[in-house]
Amino acid sequence: MPRTTAVVSISLARRRLFQWLTVPAAQWLLPSNLFASSIASARLWPAQEYTRLIIESVTPLGFQWMTMRNLERLLLDLDGVEMSFELVQLPQLVHPDDPYIQAIRVAPLKPGVMRIVLDLKTEVNPQIFALKPFADHAHRIVLDLYPLTPPDPLMALLQADPNAREYAPRPGAADRPATAPEPRPPASRSEVRRKIVIAIDPGHGGEDPGAIGRRGTYEKNVTLAIARKLRSLIDGEPGMRAMLTRDDDYFVALHVRVQKARRVQADLFVSIHADAFSTPSAHGSSVFALSEHGATSAAARWLAQRENEADLIGGVNLDSRDPLLARTLLDLSQTAQINDSLRVGRSVLDGIGTINALHKGSVEQAGFAVLKAPDIPSILIEAAFISNPEEEMKLRSERQQQRFAESIFGGIKHYFSPRLARG
């Protein structure tokens, strides 16, 4: 948890201990809430894809929940919890634009049980699970509110482009859309042109801020800013179209990022990051591809391990993971994908090298989980080191973000130039 939250929680625990030690021995058993769990924080992450409520506590919490569909209401009961500032201010966190939550109310249900009432705007598919402490986070209860019909990234891409015919499945595409557009008259061969689809993946988000610079710059904000600028450049190029795996500040599990790219039958997956290192002197841009046989350097191995922990930091519901998808990501031979990834990675690295120093002059490889789509060339870009004060300033600058986006786009366009030339 953040340092300020930790200080508040520790101070609260010390005050309670002092109160307990100073009461007469005969009264030691009287206070019913003496050992009540301390709520460290309550957070809300609204987004179109889903809204997430986080209750973080110093000790594990018991909970029960139920929905009242006729009233569009969800009830969450927390055991062994007393009213606290964090719970009092929770209703104020509801944003008017939240797609799913209308209002939140908090009140004691009975001694030792606190009830959180969520008034909903629509019927939802809720998922609730507990997370053990990890990194800076303590015990967490996570409530995710999903729409009954999840948004389909392929259909969103089709609806955003009047030339929907141009998204015919690419040769060898593994997935097919669950629902297809209305049938259209057959097109002549000259009419059918499939756009090159680039899946852009802004690293981190929501509960997972990524690396944090000395000036308080969050990696998740920088990656989203660069990704949006890159999307605009790609969408402005005839014959190309981009999709973002997230377009707001919310958490997306690593396997879901891959899933979205495969859903739109992407021709390339580009994950954007701006990591930190143990020493502020580390600098320069890097491009990574997947490795089946170990990392090409100790730094690449360390970085892949950090990035692969994103699910534990952001909070993924392991019970909902598709075992078939997990097998696909881990077991399939990916030699052809890796070879293509190295080629496009080289082109992008050359492009970035025109505006920033390179950390290493070649495309590195490591076992990044987010690069494991077996049928899509995939690269991970470290635009710069957010832990380096000079590079942090670049990452904070909108002008420099645009330059990073333009250099990445230049490398992507160069790689696909033969296909673009053929139309």
Query: Which residue type occupies 18?
Result: F
275 falls in which pLDDT band (50, 70, 90)? confident
pLDDT at 151: 85
| Number of other CB atoms surrounding residue 235 within 10 Å | 15
Q: Calculate what percentage of the chain has a pLDDT beyond 70.
A: 79
User: For residue 108, what are the β-bridge partners?
Assistant: 114
Please tell me the least confidently modeled range out of 111-115, 206-210, 293-297, 317-321: 317-321
Which segments within 316-401 are labelled E, that is strand?
Answer: 364-366, 378-382
| Residue 344 · residue 413 · CB < 8 Å | no
**Stretch 227-241: mean pLDDT, rounded?**
96
Query: What is the torsional sign of CA 269, 272, 278, 279?
Result: positive
What average pLDDT is seen over the chain? 83
Per-residue pLDDT at 421? 82
Least Cα distance to 348 among 372, 333, 334, 364 occurs for 364
Inter-axis angle of helices 254-263 and 153-160, nearest 10: 50
Judge whether 172 and 262 are in contact, CB under 8 Å: no
Domains and CATH numbers, the chain: 3-16+31-147 (2.60.40.3500), 153-168+194-422 (3.40.630.40)
pTM, to two decimals: 0.82
128: helix, strand or coil: strand
Instruction: Identify the band that residue 392 occupies on the pLDDT scale cut at 50, 70 and 90.
Output: very high
pLDDT at 74 over 60: yes
What is the average pLDDT across 223-248?
Answer: 96
Residue 4, pLDDT > 50, answer no
What the block records as the tokens of 199 is 């899946």
Distance CA 149, CA 351 (A): 40
Mean pLDDT of 45-50: 95
Lowest mean pLDDT among 67-71, 146-150, 363-367: 67-71
87 pLDDT above the threshold of 60: yes
- The phi-psi region of residue 31 (left if phi > 0; otherwise alpha if psi is between -120 and 50; otherwise beta) is beta
Residue 156 is predicted with a pLDDT of: 81
Higher per-residue pLDDT: 2 or 297: 297
> What amino acid is encoded at 329 in this protein?
L
Q: Which of 5-14, 32-41, 110-119, 326-335 has the highest mean pLDDT?
A: 110-119
Beta strands 240-244; 196-202: pairing state: parallel
